[in-house]
Structure 1
Amino acid sequence: MSEQCQRCGEEGEDRRTLWMACLYEMRELPVPFKLSAIKGVYQEQVGTKRLETLDTDVPVFETMPEEEEQQYRFYNLRVCKSCRAEWMQAIANWFKAQPVKRHPTGTGVYGRKHGAVYEMSEEEIKERWPDVELVRK
């Protein structure tokens, strides 16, 4: 069945699902995420096991003792292989890049962007509320 890539619009039958979960409302981003849920038990990878027949290593997960099933929410996108490759490269670039450190601005006005709280600069305040005058005590 032909399906359109949600990013580039290419029609095709070979699509991949990007699953993202970060305990944040990602619909804040201008991205057409769909919301999905999976019910199950969380497990962490504790190692790998060699699968000789395929000449590869497969992950081994910790068995959780009698843990109750929970519902886990994920944001997802259906994309072509090229867009998936670019997404993977973007994650690698983000991880390797130096984190942006915000410094106090002295305004005492705080904003929130993508889940992070920061002190806004006077320029950001004027841009967000052009008709409001910043008054200092």
Structure 2
Amino acid sequence: PEHLATTEGRPPAGMSIRITTPDGSPLPPNTDGEVRLRGEAVCQGYLNPDQSAEVFDADGYLITGDLGHLTPDGYLVLTGRSKDVIIRKGENISAKEIEDLLHRLPGIADVAVIGLPDRTRGERVCAVVEQPPGAA
């Protein structure tokens, strides 16, 4: 029951998960890094080989853009995102930094910051906010 509440679970049969540094070096259990997947349920690549080369490593693992770690007994714990940059008029904006600032406000129980397409700016910053229970 504890694993169900605190992890994403173990990989199913036919699926392999690696936690690595950005250059692909493996990390030990309980060390956060990039989450990479390989297996029957993962697409094999894109029609354009250049696109596949950007998101698959040399061993065929999909670089998911998620951050996390494996517990010593093989359960996956997701802890963040590596691709949380919003590009607005050429400026890189960290979604996590904005989320951290908004979490400090008393009228916000939870928040997710995402980039939405914008014709003139490239992307616009959007915050999806959950109010605390009982808020008006």
TM interval, short-chain normalised = under 0.3
**TM-score normalised according to structure 2 size:** 0.20
Which of the pair has the greater relative contact order for Cα pairs under 8 Å at 6+ separation? 1
| Larger-gyration structure (1/2) | 1
